[in-house]
Amino acid sequence: MKKNLKYNLTWLAIAAVIYIGLFVLYNGGFINLFTDSIIANIGINIILAVGLNLIIGFSGQFSLGHAGFMAIGAYTAAILTRDNPTFGGFLTGLLVGMLVSGAVALAVGIPTLRLKGDYLAIATLGISEIIRILIINLRGLTNGPAGIFGLPQFSNWQVIFIMMVLSVLIVSNFIHSGGGRATLSVREDEIAAESMGVDTTKYKVTAFVMGAVLASVAGTLYASYQQSVFPQDYGFMKSIDILIIVVFGGIGSTTGAIVSAIVLGFLNMYLQDFGNLRMIIYALAIIGIMIFKPSGLLGTWEFSVKRIFDKFSKKEDDSDASVNN
């Protein structure tokens, strides 16, 4: 327990250094509105990718429904903030969106997660589309295809950064917990895990619900930052975009998901000048990585604070042993 606290505090110290660096850049006038938009979207994409990676990379379930849960968070926050345009309304929307997404994920996860592979992907895609169609047709509540706009902007880079750090810490601590190890055993061999007494359905549903809740958080932040929500923003291609980030970074690597979101975010920024060729170059870059590095940028490698501490302690032990000798 004390070791976990030490590792978490170290991660928070690293995050604090990055935060201070960004703060200096913002206050020094080095970041304009366009760059701010890129940084904010990178933070949101990290939350989305870490959540989807928990489902795909750590529990071994192939989901294409992430955009639907993102839409739940975005619209819940938009509706509540529209009716109560205060920071309290924003926080209420964030919490209610998380609860609704978690409840929906639990309701649909128990029956659908019995499926595997392509069947599960199709089922989750169908759930995402059902959510989007409901949003379009509930005109009195969601304003239908026209969406909701003119929302107050309570989501800035500071709020997004804090939520991103919390999301990564929660997922990392879960993976290294007893439940996380049980989830990994399901990914490696579900039949063997079940034969050893692991409740496979429980851990698959847990990972699915956690991923959905994180997607809702990202949706809330995105809606507040953009100050608008539209149904077309949460279609099939949004789920594919998040999946690309996970695959590009390395399935089963939280570090890979973070690095991938940053690399693709800045790549997208630098390709803005190419106009209509931007998406072609973007796609070719991803295809190139997949050809020459099919496991993704980092594969399953993780940056581990624990590993660094262990190396230092080993060096100290070796030096003490040499002194004693």
pLDDT digits (tens, 9 = 90+) for 209-219: 999 999 999 99
Q: Which DSSP state fits 149? A: E
Structural domain boundaries enclosing 245: 2-314
- The yes-or-no verdict on residue 64 having pLDDT over 70 is yes
Distance of CA 317 to the CA centre of its chain: 39
Inside any domain, residue 109: yes
Inside any domain, residue 325: no
H or E element at residue 159: helix 157-175
Inside any domain, residue 9: yes
Q: pTM, whole model, 2 decimals? A: 0.90
Question: What integer pLDDT is reported at residue 275 of this predicted model?
Answer: 66
Inside any domain, residue 323: no
User: What would the pLDDT profile of 161-203 be if each residue is shown by its tens digit?
Assistant: 999 999 999 998 898 888 888 888 888 888 888 888 888 888 8
Inside any domain, residue 14: yes
DSSP string, 187-242: HH-HHHHHHTT--HHHHHHHHHHHHHHHHHHHHHHHHHHHTEE-GGGGSHHHHHHH
Inside any domain, residue 321: no
Question: What integer pLDDT is reported at residue 311 of this predicted model?
Answer: 65
| Domain CATH for 53 | 1.10.3470
Question: What integer pLDDT is reported at residue 316 of this predicted model?
Answer: 54
User: Both tokens of residue 148?
Assistant: 């909701």
Inside any domain, residue 322: no
Rounded to the nearest 5 percent, the helix, strand and coil shares of the chain are 80, 0, 20
CB-based contact 39:155 (threshold 8 Å): no
Look-up of token digits 């206050």 = 27
State the total domains in the chain.
1
pLDDT band at 293 (very low <50, low <70, confident <90, very high): confident
User: What would the pLDDT profile of 106-137 be if each residue is shown by its tens digit?
Assistant: 988 888 877 776 778 888 888 899 999 999 99
Inside any domain, residue 217: yes
SS3 (DSSP) at 148: strand
Which residues are within 8 A (CB) of 127 and not within 5 positions of it... i.e. 6 or more apart? Answer: 65, 68, 108, 112
> Which among 53, 80, 86, 242 is positioned nearest to 153, based on CA atoms?
86
Q: Alpha-carbon dihedral of residues 73, 74, 77, 80, nearest 10 degrees?
A: -110
Kindly report which listed range (45-54, 77-86, 200-209, 283-292) carries the lowest average pLDDT score.
283-292
